[in-house]
Structure 1
Amino acid sequence: MMQTFAALADPTRLRIVELLRAGPLPVGEICDRLPLAQPQVSKHLRVLRDAGLVGVQPRAQQRIYGLRAAPLRELGAWLERFRDISDERFEQLDDLRAEIQRDEEKG
């Protein structure tokens, strides 16, 4: 899990993951969509691959990268455990807002 967080902490790697949500892409196309040269993109893809977030398939002379769902599902399940906490806090904030609004209307 920590490796997933570490890999996604970099904005470029997060952008690559977002690009791959639409489907697998060759390295060249990823480079075209980012302001980076191919060696830089390849380094980011290597980190994502080492974290298990992407898989690669060689196709002739191309390397096609696609998302791997398992680490993202694991991350989603982990984050879901915190949803109750945030929902409760938002409800408390809504109650406070309503109380302030009532006080303003009274006075």
Structure 2
Amino acid sequence: MLGHPVRIRVLELLQEGPKPVRELLTALEMEPSSLSQQLAVLRRSGIVVSARDGSTVVYSLAGADVADLLRAARRILTELLAGQQGLLAELRQAEEGARVM
């Protein structure tokens, strides 16, 4: 369910608070039908909820646990990327040292 970048981005936007679909469309710059499909996946999984306000549909996170999950995932990915950057720097230094010899 969280394997699609649009769904992750939607959840990140909803961490700021409930958003009408038109705001999500503007932020994501995508076709309404594509966003609708991704929102349906999130809604069916119970991660987001929707409510009508007149003709406007507003989405929000289903609970605080979702925001906690996103924060934990972001922390883990940040640590992984930092480790990969360190390894890349070491490899580049080794490559430069090999060229000098």
Normalising by the smaller structure, the TM-score range is 0.5 to 0.7
Partner of 1:35 in structure 2? 29
1:12 and 1:64 map into 2 onto residues whose CA distance is: 17
Partner of 2:59 in structure 1? 65
> Hey, which bits of structure 1, 4+ residues long, moved more than 3 A?
none
User: In structure 2, which of residues 3, 16, 20 is the aligned counterpart of residue 22 of structure 1?
Assistant: 16
Unpaired runs of 5+ in structure 1? 1-6, 80-107
Q: Structure 1 length as normaliser, TM-score? A: 0.60
Larger Rg: 1
RMSD after superposition: 2.1
Q: Structure 2 length as normaliser, TM-score? A: 0.63
Deviation at residue 37 of structure 1 after TM alignment? 1.1
User: In structure 2, which of residues 5, 23, 35 is the aligned counterpart of residue 11 of structure 1?
Assistant: 5
Unpaired runs of 5+ in structure 2? 73-101
Which deviations, in whole Å up to 9, do the C-alpha atoms of 1:41-66 show, x marking residues without a partner?
Answer: 11100000001010000110010000
Aligned residues: 71
1:26 and 1:70 map into 2 onto residues whose CA distance is: 19
Sequence identity (%): 33
